[in-house]
Amino acid sequence: MGVIKLKNIRVFSYHGCLDEEGKIGSEYRVDLKIKGDLSRSAKTDDLSDTIDYVHLNKIVKEEMAIRSKLLETVAERILVRIMDELLKVQKAKVAVSKINPPIGGNVAMVTVSRSKSR
- Helices (H), ranges, 35-89: 39-44, 53-64, 71-85
Any catalytic annotation for residue 98? yes
d(CA 86, CA 68): 24
Among candidate residues 56, 10, 15, the one with its CA nearest the CA of residue 32: 56
| Residues 97, 30 contacting (CB under 8 angstroms) | yes
Q: Catalytic: which of 61, 88, 93, 98?
A: 98
Active site positions, annotated = 98
